[in-house]
Amino acid sequence: MSSRRGRITDEEINELISKLQALLPESSRRRTASRSSASKLLKETCGYIKSLHQEVDDLSDRLSELMSTLDDASPQAEIIRSLLR
C-alpha cells in the first residue's frame, strides 16, 4: 500500500489516517471534525479498539454460558451440538 522510499511523506501518513477515520463507527466520525488532528484520531481509534476488545470478552462470556446450556437434552440443543461436532 505505501511505498517505502526512505522517508515517509506526510501525505501518505495523512492518507492512512483518513483511512483509519473511515473505519471508526459513525457516531465518533460525526463528533470529530473532518480535519481533526492525528492525535485526536489516534485517541478515537484506541478507544474503539478497546471497546472491540471488551465486546469480544463479553461475547466470549455469553458464548461460554450458552455452551453450558447445550448440555441439556432439548432438541434445539441437539441441533446446535451437531453444528459444533
Q: Quote the least distance from Cβ 9 to other proteins, whole Å.
A: 10
- Helix %, strand %, coil % for the chain, to 5? 75, 0, 25
What CA–CA distance (Å, rounded) separates 3 from 29? 28
State which amino acid sits at residue 73.
Answer: A
Residues 29-48 that bind other proteins (CB under 8 A): 37-39, 42-43, 45-46, 48
Point out which residues bind other proteins (CB under 8 A): 1-2, 4, 8, 10, 12-13, 16-17, 19-20, 23, 37-39, 42-43, 45-46, 48-50, 52-53, 55-57, 59-64, 66-70, 74, 76-77, 80-81, 83-85
